[in-house]
């Protein structure tokens, strides 16, 4: 069966059309097989990679949010620690001031006791000196009266005798009083 040129489609004979049609179906089947065997695993790999990237992005976002929360907590704790440290320093300063005031009060009390003791000691020493001076005056008066009684002298001799007695005792005794 020979076909004439009139029977041909676009100048193609039926055998060529049949071969083209058969080749088209074979290529389609080959594409489907290749798609099933090659493209599906590649698609699966790409989908797995896409899911892994999305999961990593989610994890990165969650980690970033967690890091921000931790940073906020850290900042809050630092502020709290600063407040506690300031409170401790304030308490320490107050205690130091109280201790300083106590030390000053104790020192003032001790100084007061020392001054009072020194005053008492000075008063006792003054009384002792006064008693010694009185004893000296009594002994001088006794010596003077003894000499006056021993010699009944006139006033000039008495004055001379008093002067002599005073010289014997010494001027320092009378000037200390």
Residues 6+ apart with CB under 8 A from 147: 161, 165
Q: 16 pLDDT exceeds 90?
A: no
Cβ neighbours around 151 below 10 Å, total: 11
Domain-wise residue ranges, the chain: 14-176
Q: Using CA atoms, how far apart are residues 42 and 48, in angstroms rounded to an integer?
A: 10
The model scores a pTM over 0.75: no
Predicted confidence (pLDDT) per residue in 98-156, tens digit: 999 999 999 999 999 999 999 999 999 999 998 888 888 888 877 777 776 666 657 77
Question: Which residues pair with residue 73 across a beta bridge?
Answer: none
């Amino acid at each position: 069966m020979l076909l004439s040129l009139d029977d041909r489609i676009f100048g193609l004979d039926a055998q060529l059309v049949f071969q083209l049609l058969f080749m088209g179906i074979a290529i389609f089947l080959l594409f489907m097989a290749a798609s099933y065997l090659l493209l599906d695993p590649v698609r699966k790999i790409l989908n797995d990679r896409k899911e892994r990237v999305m999961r990593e992005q989610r994890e990165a976002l969650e980690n970033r949010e967690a890091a921000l929360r931790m940073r906020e907590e850290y900042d809050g704790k630092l502020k709290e620690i600063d407040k506690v440290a300031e409170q401790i320093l304030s308490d320490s300063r107050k205690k130091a001031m109280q201790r300083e005031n106590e030390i000053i009060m104790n020192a003032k009390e001790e100084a007061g006791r020392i001054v009072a003791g020194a005053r008492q000691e000075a008063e006792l020493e003054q009384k002792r000196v006064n008693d010694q001076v009185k004893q000296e005056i009594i002994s001088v008066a006794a010596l003077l009266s003894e000499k006056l009684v021993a010699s009944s002298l006139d006033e000039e001799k008495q004055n001379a005798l008093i002067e002599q007695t005073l010289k014997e005792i010494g001027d320092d005794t009378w000037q200390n009083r």
